[in-house]
Structure formats: C-alpha cells, structure tokens
Amino acid sequence: MNYAGIAATDHPVEAGYDTVNSNYYFVIPGSNSGSSITNLNSSSNVNVPGRWAFRVDGGPKPIAASPFDPCYSYTILDQSWRSVYNTTFYPYLNCDYNFNFVGWYRFLLDGQNAQMTEQCIPVYHCGSYVSLHLDGGHPTIADGVVNRKTCVFWNNICCNAEIIPIRVKACLGGYYVYELVQPTPYCSAYCAEVSSFTTLAEPGIFYSYGPMVENTINAPSDDGSSSSVQLPTPFLFFGNKHQQIYVNNNGFLTFSQSSSQYDPDSFPAFKNQDIIAGLWTDLDNREKGQIYYRQYTNGSILQKATQDINSYFSNLNFNASWVFTATWNKVAYYSPTSTVSLIQ
C-alpha cells in the first residue's frame, strides 16, 4: 500500500486488511482515526515512508507497531499562547503547574505542526512568566525514545533554573511527542514553535498509473465500483482463492462482490468476506480525482514488484508473474470535497 498527500477527515476511516471470519487481519497504526491518517504519508513497516507491505500467504507477519507506541497514543496541545512569539499575558499568566500532565503530548499552533522550542526564551514569552525550552536537541527517528531536560533562561544563562526531565520521540509522521511532567515551583510554561520536521513519502514508491499507461478508469459515481475484473490466474489471499476483484470507489478491494459501503467496518469485522482497504472511507470521485486499475503479466512492473518484495521479506525468493494495481488518484472526500488523497 502506498500513500501520499493523505488529508485529514471527519469521516470514519480504516486501512489494512481483513479476511473471512477475521482469521487474519491488520490495521495500519493510526489509520482508524480521521484526524491522524495524515501519518500514512510517512509511516511504514518496511522503512520506506508512505509504504506498507504485507505477506498474504500466512507467512511471517508484518512488522507492527509495539503494543504501546506514543507516536500513535498522545494528547494534542493546540494552544496558541505557547508560541515563542507570544508576549501577551493579559489578563493572566499561564502556569503549567496548574496542568495535570499525564502521558504523551504533541504540540500544535493553530493547527500547524509544532515542536518544543530549543531557543533560550526571555521572561514574559509563551504566555507565561518564564518559558521552558528543550535542552539537548530533538532526537531522530532512529533514536527512538530519548531522555531530555527542559529548563529556563535566567540571569543571562540559557539553562539556569527549573531543570525538568522529560522524554521525547520523533515520529514517522513528521512530528515529535513529549512525555511531559508538571513543572514546579515557578509560573512557567512549555514553549513551542512551528516545526519544520518532516518525513515525506518517496516520489518513486508509486507504481505507474493514469491514462498514459492504459489503466481502466472507474466511472464517476458516489459509492460506485468497477465491474467484475477477471484475473488470469487465481489470487490466493490467506488460503482463499479468488478469480475476480472489485475496485470500490470508497478506497477498498473486495472479491466476492462489489460494495457501496462508505462507513468502514472496524477490523476485525468477523464477516464472510475478504477485504483489502487502502483507505476505506467516504470518497467521491464525482467531484475530484480518478480511480485507476490495471493488471500486468509482463514488463518492468513485474521486475519492480519482484525487487520490492524480496527486499522487504528475506529468504523469500519471490518472482512476480502477475501484478494488479488500483490507484485512487487525488480523490475527494464526500462533503466537503476541498481535500484530496492519493492511495495505491
């Protein structure tokens, strides 16, 4: 599965796969919340931002997020007064010793991705008397969870007082999360600035799609689907043989019949069908975007698939003889239609 430019939505969402009776299923971490699916642009289980890869033969399971990963379990702090540029504290100062911090937090500033500042900030900034900044710098993704300290600028010394230990992690979605603690005894606040940290999907992860490569296009239709796509050889999906595929406009594939369902099932659904959900949600190709699909039995696409799969799964000795691609190219969400997403 490949992702780029995934926009947040208020619609229910689900990405992953589910089988008959849910004997096998997988949910991509963070993909079942419309506010966090932008992480799909850069998260991965194969160290290729924007790509997730799975075996469907019952072999070794894909690398999944740990049982608890703070990158997918955090509280958002979107408080504009925390900005390094805020020198206004009327009618009162904000003091984080009044806030009961529990767990991990992510900073936003008016909806923009933000991070704790590393600058030495003078008094009466960030909506408080003194401002807490991060000492020691932010980690890389490879660092995992790291220990850091926060402190305040005082008497012209950058890290002079109120030294507080916290933990920090860099996330594949291009943001940081912080395990914050309650600062005491001064009136102080954690200070934030708009972040430039990003991990974007690699341009080359998408397989060729569009009219120039003779793809078939689904007709514009709310909750529509392709007709039955007959396969040259049976596709074995966790032991179930399928001779046909349906490309449903709402971002998922089915095998036994087409589906107009726009509210996704939560996996495991324990139903009598196999599903591959690139991004199952309420999409609308009548307004924006195209839905393409194509089968390949020869050519460079087979070579690309062979190379990709063997690089992700060691000792498999895989050789592709057939490839099926389905691409939802910048398709809009249903009402509002101002945002689009690219899914393959």
The domains of the chain are located at 3-51+201-343, 70-194
pLDDT of residue 66: 43
pLDDT at 336: 67
Average pLDDT, the chain: 88
Mean pLDDT by 10 residues, the chain (344 residues): 89 95 91 86 82 82 54 86 88 89 92 91 90 92 89 84 88 85 88 80 74 89 96 95 98 97 95 96 93 94 91 87 95 82 92
Write down the pLDDT at residue 64: 42
Model pLDDT for residues 175-202, shown as the tens digit of each residue: 899 999 999 778 999 999 998 776 555 5
One-letter identity of residue 333:
Y
Q: What is the DSSP string of 79-123?
A: -GGGBTT-----S----GGGS---SEEEEEETTEEEEE--S-PPS
Cα distances (angstroms) measured from residue 276 to each of 20, 28, 174, 255, 326: 12, 12, 26, 9, 11
Q: What is the pTM of this model?
A: 0.64
Q: Residue 175 burial (CB < 10 Å; 0-12/13-18/19+)?
A: buried
Q: What is the pLDDT of residue 328?
A: 96
Beta bridge partners of 280: 14
